[in-house]
A and B are shown apart, each in its own frame.
Chain A
Amino acid sequence: MAALRADLQRVADMVERGARALDVGCGDGALLEWLVRHRGVDGRGMELSQAGVNACVAAGLSVIQGDADTDLRDYPDDAFDYVILSQTLQATREPREVLRQMLRVGKRAIVSFPNFAYWPVRLRLVFGGRMPETRSLPHKWYDTPNIHLCSIDDFRALCAEMGVRVERAVVLDSGGRAISLPPLIANFLGEHAVFLLRRDQGVGRS
C-alpha cells in the first residue's frame, strides 16, 4: 500500500490500535484504509461525494454519504473513540458546531487544517494584495470550498473558548515535518496543523 500523505500520517499516529474511529470527510478512504489495515481500527467513514463513498465501499470500507454539518447529529454520544476531520473543518458551514458534535460523538477528536497564518499566505495577501493561492489553498476566492479558514492561533483560541482540551498539537512545515517551536513562530512557519482534542467534562453535551 502506498505511504500516507504526511499530514494524514500525523493524524493516523494519534489513533490508538483497535480503537473505534469515524473519519468525517474521508475522501477516497486512504486514511481509513490505513487505520483499518495497520492499526486494527474499527473504522467508519462519512463522505460528501457519492463517488468517493462508492470507491470506499468498493475497497471494503464502511462509509456512508453524509455532511459533517448536518449528519453528525445522528450519532449517539460516545459512539467512537475518535472522530477525525482532516482538511475539512475550513469547508464546513458551522465549524464550531461541527467541533462540538465531534466531541459529543467521540471521546476524542482529531482535526487537521491548513494554517491561514502560514508565511507565504501572509505574504501574498499583505504584499501581493490578492487572496492567497498556495499548494494547500489552491482555489480562487470565488470558487473555494474553504469558507472558514483560520490560523493555528485562531483554532487554539476557539478550543479555549469552548473548553476543549488540546492533548497534542503538531505543526507541520511544507515538507510535512513536525516543527517544535514556540506557538507564535509555529503559527508563522507551519503550513498545516493537527490537533488531538478531548472534551473537558460537561463540554460538548447538548
Chain B
Amino acid sequence: MDFADLTAAERQALQHCEHAILGRESPLRLDCGVELAGHRVAYKTWGTLNAARSNAVLICHALTLDQFVIGTHPVTGKPGWWDTLVGPGKVLDPARYFIVCANVLGGCMGSTGPQDRDPATGQAWNLRFPVVTIGDMVRAQAALLDHLGIPDLFCVIGGSMGGMQVLEWCASFPKRVFAAVPVACAARHSAQNIAFHEVGRQAVMADPDWREGDYRQHNTVPARGLAVARMTAHITYLSELALQRKFGRALQNRDAPGFGFDADFQVESYLRHQGATFVDRFDPNSYLYITRAMDYFDLAGAHGGTLANAFRGTHTRFCVMSFTSDWLFPTRESREIVHALNAVAANVSFVEIDSDKGHDAFLLDEPEMFRTLGGFLKGAAAARGLPEAG
C-alpha cells in the first residue's frame, strides 16, 4: 500500500506499528449503510498469544488516543498513555497477556479515516468519508482479531470512548468477551457531552483554513479551530478542584494583570499549550468523525430502549469503574450500566474510585484503580484457567 497520501504523522505512526488491510473479501458494512472494502487497521501488540489462544486482551483507546499504549510515542515523543497500567510488573503484564490495541476506524494514527483516498474516486475522502459509529469501530476490531487468529478475548478494557467500545463489544460479540472493564464511560452520550462536542466541531468548521474539510488539498490547517476545540474539551477532562489546585488565579510570567488579552493567567497559558500541541498530532477531520461516533452511541436505543436487552444472556464478567470527580461521565452513568447488568443477573463488579482529578483520572496514577482492577483480573484469570504470571 502506498502511504504517500497520508499525513506525516500517520506515516510515522505506521512505521512504528503493524497494520492489516481487512475486509477485501467481505467488506465492512458500516451502520450508515456504506461498505468499506480493504480498510486499514493500524495496531500494536505486546506479549505472546498462548497455545490455547486464551490470554488476549484488547485495549480500546479514547477519542484522541491511539495504539501507542506504552513506550515512546513515535509522533509526540511522549510516554504511552496507559503506561501506568500496562507493562512488565503492571496490572496488564505482557508476560501474562497478549495485549492488542488498534487505532479506531476513522482515526488518524494509521487506520483508515477521512484523510485516506476513496478508492472509487481516487480523491481524498475528507468530508465524503462515511460517518462511522462505535459499532463500526468494534466490528473493525473484530475483523482484526479474526486476522490475528484470536477466537475470543480474555478481557476487553478501555476508558471513555474506549469504555463505549467495551460495552459495544459485550453487546455485539458476547461470546468473544470473557471479561470486560468499561472505565469512566456511559452507555449513551449525554446531551451535555454532545453539546461540548458540537462546540468543538463548530470551532474547527468555523476556521477559514478548514476549507469545507479539504484543507490538505489547499495546503492549510485549521489549527486555530482545532486548538479551540481541544481547549474546550480539555476542560471537561479535568475537575474544578484540579484546575483550582493546579493554577488557582496564578499569573503567567508576570506580577500583575496586563490589561489585555494575552494569556495573563497560568490556566490560559496551559490551555493554549494544550490546544497548540494537539494540532501537531491530530487530524481535524478525524476529530469531527470520532466525536460524531461518540455522539451517536446509545446502546439502549440500539436495543429497543432497554439497556438490559443489550446484555441479555451474557456470560461476561464485568468490572465497571468510575471516578468521583468525573463530571463528563459521572458515576451515575456507570451505575445505570450496573443496574442493567443486574437486571439480567450478570456477573458484575462496580468500583467507584475516589479521585479529584476528573475524567482524566483513568489515565493517571490511581493506586486504588490498579488495586481493584488487579483483583478483578486475577479472579477472572483464575476462572478462565490462565496460569499465574511467570
Contacts and interface: CB of A to CB of B under 8 A. Distances in A.
A141 interface: no
A63 B339 CA distance: 13
Interface of A: 42, 44, 50, 53-54, 56-65, 71, 74-76, 79-80
B306 to A, nearest CB: 13
Nearest to A79: B345
Of B342, B351, B374, B379, most A-chain CB atoms within 10 Å: B342
Given A54-B372, A57-B376, A64 B349 contact: yes
Contacts of A64: 338, 342, 348-350
A42 to B, nearest CB: 8
B344 A58 contact: no
Contact of B344 (A44, A61, A76): A76
Contacts of A63: 349-350
A57 B345 contact: no
A138 to B, nearest CB: 27
A80 B347 CA distance: 12
15 contacts: A42-B347, A44-B347, A50-B354, A53-B352, A54-B353, A54-B368, A57-B351, A60-B378, A60-B380, A61-B379, A62-B349, A63-B349, A64-B338, A74-B342, A75-B345
Contacts of A65: 350, 352
Contact of A75 (B343, B353, B354, B372): B343
- Shortest beta-carbon contacts, A-B, top 5: A60-B379, A58-B375, A79-B345, A74-B342, A64-B350
Contacts of A71: 342
Contacts of A57: 319, 349, 351, 372, 375-376
Nearest to A42: B347
B351 A60 contact: no
B148 interface: no
B317 interface: yes
Contacts of A76: 343-345
B371 interface: yes
A62 B348 contact: yes
B67 to A, nearest CB: 28
Contacts of B343: 74-76
Given A57-B349, A58-B372, A79-B345, 20 more contacts: A44-B348, A50-B351, A50-B352, A53-B349, A53-B350, A54-B351, A57-B351, A58-B374, A60-B376, A60-B378, A60-B380, A62-B349, A64-B350, A65-B352, A71-B342, A74-B339, A75-B342, A75-B343, A75-B345, A76-B344
